[in-house]
Homo-oligomer: A and B are copies of this chain.
């Protein structure tokens, strides 16, 4: 376990240029943003198209070799999504190409992907439109994606991802998957080479000229509208026969909502370095 917080190396493509005071390269912060996101956006280049492809997928950072690793440790991103044939074929192709090409030995095999996830924590409403902002936490990861082929690792990843959607769900369903299910399920592992986070928190901030304008202050409401995600009351399916919502599910809904609401309020309340100064929004 690291004795100090680990950081991703700054690469030309991963360095935050605008409002770099909001940037962080700490694994802990970046992984936390990814692992609390219901979806991540996976983008990659597609041959013969000027447009990158972007797919929303379910993703979670973990370690098959050290399953008890902390959020701040070196981890892999495991992806399980709805649209996989294209990305999988491209991954395999890249993998094949790499093995016969002259690419440097230290370039990981797989498809280069950019993975992005964002939480909006609040609408920051100040005196002028230009100083309006969001409180947010966004993370971007850069890495090489390849299908998981080892059956043990694949099974581990399926359980890991399922339990990231609802804690403890896996063992409370019909498992293990049968052969056909294992066959039809694809899991991608992304070896991360760089990453960054960008975070804005706190109260609004306005230029001195506006903040000193009493007539303006008397007219314009300023503050933060907290934003967070909510899990509602579980709705039983037409074929559900379990009368009560199970404890693990009720607890998960409650805990997730509490964390989301507390985070939004905490981010809203954080004091800005200077409350009334040149805005950097």
Contacts and interface: CB of A to CB of B under 8 A. Distances in A.
Nearest to A257: B230
B229 A227 contact: yes
A35 B44 CA distance: 24
Interface string A176-190: 010001001100000
A235 B268 contact: yes
Interface of A: 12-13, 16-19, 38-39, 41, 43-46, 48-54, 56, 58, 82-86, 112-114, 116, 118, 120, 123, 125-130, 132, 134, 136, 138, 140, 142, 158-159, 162, 165-166, 169-170, 172-175, 177, 181, 184-185, 198, 203-204, 206, 210-211, 213, 216-242, 245-246, 249, 253, 261, 264-265, 268-269, 275-276
A221 B245 CA distance: 7
Contacts of A39: 118, 120, 134, 136
8 contacts: A52-B52, A56-B138, A174-B216, A174-B220, A225-B249, A225-B253, A230-B230, A239-B276
Contact of A181 (B130, B227, B246): B130
Given A56-B116, A82-B198, A221-B246, 18 more contacts: A18-B84, A19-B83, A39-B120, A43-B116, A45-B52, A50-B112, A83-B198, A125-B169, A125-B249, A126-B237, A129-B175, A223-B237, A224-B237, A226-B231, A227-B232, A228-B232, A237-B275, A239-B275
